[in-house]
Chain A
Amino acid sequence: MKVDDTGLLAREPDETSYLTAGTTLRSWLLSTDHKRIAILYAASITVFFFIGGAAATMIRLELFTPAGDLTTADEYNRLFTLHGVIMVWFFLIPSIPGTLGNFLLPLMVGAKDVAFPRLNLMSWYLYVTAGLFTLAALLLGGVDTGWTFYTPLSTLYSNSYVLLAAFGIFVVGFSSIATGINFIATIHLLRTKGMTWMRLPLFAWAMYATSLVMVLATPVLAMALLLICGERLLGLPIFDPRVGGDPVLFQHIFWFYSHPAVYIMILPAMGVVSEIIACEARRRVFGYQFMVYAMLVIAVIGFLVWGHHMFVAGQSPFASMIFSFLSFVIAVPSAIKVFNWTGTLYRGRIRFSAPMLYALGFVGLFTLGGLTGLFLASIPVDVHLSDTYFVVAHFHYIMVGGAVSAFFGGLHFWWPKITGRLYNENFARSAALWLFFGFNFTFFPQFILGYLGMPRRYHEYPPEFQVWNVMSSTGAVVLAVGYLMPLFYLGYSLLHGERAGDNPRDATGLEWTTSSPPPQHNFHEPPVVRSEPYAYHDWDEAPGDADETPQTDPA
C-alpha cells in the first residue's frame, strides 16, 4: 500500500496482477489466462473496427453526391463488402463476448478461468488467422459480393477473391464456436459455491444465451460457406441454377445463421446495459427473472424468424406469413427488456457517468431500432422497404446504436477493473454525447431515404435523394471523429490514469471483489456467494454510506 500523488490511498498493482505476471511477448501470445486473451481480443477487434470504419467513411463520402465520382462502381462494391464482412464477423460478433465476456465471465461466476483455457487461446488464433485470410482477400483486390455472399453471384459471376474471404469467415466461425462452447461449459460447471442460476448476473446470462446461438447457428453458416468454396474451388455445381440449383436455398441456410447472428451481437449488449443501469441507478434490476427468460426466449425464437429477410426473395406466401408472425412474437421479449431497464431507473439514485450515458443512449436507440423492425416484419411494408436504406438504418440502430454503444459503455464501466486505472470522466461523457448525436445525425435520415425508395448498395443515385444523403454523410463525419475520441483519453488513462480502487463503482458483482487489475488466478480463495446479484438498497443507508451488498455478503 502507498499513498499516490493524488493523495488517495491506492494499492499498487498486485505483484501477481494478470498484467504484471509476465511481460514478454511470449507470455502474452501463449497465455491461457482468460484476462490476457480478452486483451488480445480487444487489441485485434480495435484494429478491425477502424479498418471497417475507414471503409464506412469512404462509403459515406462517396454518397455526398449523386454521381459516382469518388470511387468507381467496383471500388464502391468492394468497400461495402469489406465494411460488412469486417464489421459483422471481425468486430461485432467477437466484440463483447471476446473482450468483456472473456475477461468478466469467469470472474462473475467465481471461477479461476474458463472451462477450456487452451481452447480459448486457440479461438483467438483462429480469429487472427481468419482475419489474415480476409485481409489478404482485401489487399489482393477485394471481394464484391456483399457480406451476404448470395449465390449465384458469389459462385459463378464474381471475379474477386470470394474464396479467400469465404474461407476466412469459415475459420472465424470456429473461433466463435470455441468461445461459445467455453462459455456454456463455464457457466454450467464452474459456478462457485452459492452461485445459483438465479444469482447469476444478467451479463453472465447474456453470455449464456449468446453462446447458445453461437454454438447452434455458426455451423450452418460454415456449411454454406464451405459449399461456396466447393463450388468455386472444385467447380461442384451445388447452387448452380443451370443444374436446378435454387438460389433461395442458399438464402435459407445463410439466414439460418445470419439472423440469429444479430442476436449474437445484441444479447451481450443487453447484458452489459443491464449491469450498467443497475449499478449506476443504484437499484435492483426490475424484473430480474423476466430479464433472464426474455433473453432465453430471444435466443430460441431468434432461430425461427430468418425468413423475414426473404419476403421478396421468392419464398412462398405461406412461409412468409409464418415468419412474419414469429418476427412479431420476438418483439415481445425485446420490449420487456426495454420496459424493465426503464423500470430499473424508478426510485433509483442515478449517477450520470459515461457508461450510464452510453447505456441510456442504448435504450433509446435500441427501442427505435426494434420498433423499425416491426415495419420490416409486416409483409406489405417490408416489400416496399426491403433492400432500401430503411433496412440499413434499422440494423445500424440495432448494431451501432445498440451493440456498439453497449460495448463502449461496458468498456468504460469495467475499464478501472481491467486496467486498474481511471479515465477522465468529463472527456468520456462528452464523447458519449457526441457519438449519440453523430449517430442519429448519420442514420435517422436513412429511414427517410429508405421510405422514399433509395436502394442500398448503390454508388450512384437519382439526385432527388441528395439532401438526405448529404445529411447522413455529414453525420458520418461527426461519428468518425467521435470514434477517435476514446482512443485518446483511454490511451492517456492507460499510461497516466489515476489508480482505481478495487471497487470504484460500488458495484455488487464478484469481479469487483478482486483487486484492480485482478490477480492472475482471479481469487485467492474460491469466493462463496451469499446473495442476489443486484443488492443495491439505497433506502436503508444514509447517503454516502455503502448502499450495496456484494454478492459475497449475506443480504
Chain B
Amino acid sequence: MAGTSEQRTIVLGAIGIWAALFLLGASSLAYALIPGLPLKLPAALVVVVLQAALVLGGFMRLGKASALVRTTALIGIVWLSFLFMMSFADLWTR
C-alpha cells in the first residue's frame, strides 16, 4: 500500500495544476470582458496554448514520455500546419 505522503503528492500535484489552469482561464475571461483592450483573440489563444501546455506537461506527462511519443504529439500539429499554410496560401492571394 502506498504511503500517505505519496497519496498527498498525487492529490496536491493535481490540485496545483488545476489551480494554474483555473487562474489562466480566469485571466482569459477577465481580458475578454474588459472593454477596449486590444488583441483579444490572440490573447485568448495565448492563454489556451499555456493551458494546453499545462495539461500536456502536467497531466499527460508528455515531458517524461519517450522521444517517440513526443514526436507523435508534435506530428499532428505539424501536419495540421500543412493544411493551414497551403490553404491560406490560396485564400490570402485570391
Contacts and interface: CB of A to CB of B under 8 A. Distances in A.
B86 interface: yes
Given A188-B68, A316-B94, A322 B76 contact: no
A307 B90 contact: yes
Interface string B62-94: 000000100000011001001100110111111
A188 B66 CA distance: 12
Interface in A26-42: none
Interface string A232-260: 00000000000000001100110010000
B75 A216 contact: yes
Given A216-B76, A216-B79, A315 B86 contact: no
A414 B17 CA distance: 54
Contacts of A319: 86, 89-90, 93
The binding surface of chain A is classed by DSSP as: helix
Nearest to A220: B83
Contact of B93 (A216, A303, A314, A318): A318
A306 interface: yes
A323 interface: yes
B89 A304 contact: no
A316 B86 contact: no
B65 to A, nearest CB: 14
The residue in B68, B76, B90 that gathers the most chain A C-beta atoms within 10 A of its C-beta is B90
The residue in A315, A318, A319, A322 that gathers the most chain B C-beta atoms within 10 A of its C-beta is A319
Nearest to A252: B87
The binding surface of chain B is classed by DSSP as: helix
Nearest to B85: A304
Nearest to A249: B87
B86 A304 contact: yes
B86 A306 contact: yes
A298 to B, nearest CB: 15
A216 to B, nearest CB: 5
A316 B89 CA distance: 8
A323 to B, nearest CB: 7
A56 B49 CA distance: 50
Nearest to B76: A216
Interface residues of B, number: 14
Contacts of A304: 82, 86
Contacts of A318: 89-90, 93
Contact of B83 (A188, A248, A256, A322): A256
A220 B89 CA distance: 18
Nearest to A256: B83
A303 B85 CA distance: 12
A310 to B, nearest CB: 8
A112 to B, nearest CB: 21
A220 to B, nearest CB: 7
A318 B91 CA distance: 10
A316 B93 contact: yes
Contacts of B89: 316, 318-319, 322
Interface in A155-184: none
Contacts of A249: 87
Nearest to B92: A316
B82 A316 contact: no
A319 B92 CA distance: 9
B86 A323 contact: yes
A356 B53 CA distance: 53
A379 to B, nearest CB: 14
Contacts of A310: 90
A315 B91 CA distance: 8
Nearest to A317: B93
Nearest to B83: A256
A252 B68 CA distance: 30
Contacts of B94: 314-316
A306 B83 CA distance: 10
Contacts of B91: 316
Nearest to B78: A216
A447 B86 CA distance: 30
B8 to A, nearest CB: 35
Given A188-B68, A216-B75, A216-B79, A307 B86 contact: yes
Contacts of A315: 90, 94
Nearest to A320: B90
Interface in A294-324: 303-304, 306-307, 310, 314-319, 322-323
Nearest to A319: B90
Nearest to B89: A319
Contacts of A306: 86
Nearest to A212: B75
Contacts of A248: 90
Interface in B30-88: 68, 75-76, 79, 82-83, 86-87
Given A318-B89, A322-B86, A322-B89, 10 more contacts: A216-B76, A256-B82, A256-B83, A304-B86, A307-B86, A310-B90, A315-B90, A316-B90, A316-B93, A318-B93
5 residue pairs, one from A and one from B, having the closest CB atoms:
A319-B90, A318-B93, A316-B93, A316-B94, A216-B79
29 contacts: A216-B75, A216-B76, A248-B90, A249-B87, A252-B86, A253-B83, A256-B82, A256-B87, A303-B79, A304-B82, A304-B86, A306-B86, A307-B86, A310-B90, A314-B94, A315-B90, A315-B94, A316-B90, A316-B91, A316-B92, A316-B93, A316-B94, A317-B93, A318-B89, A318-B93, A319-B86, A319-B89, A322-B89, A323-B86
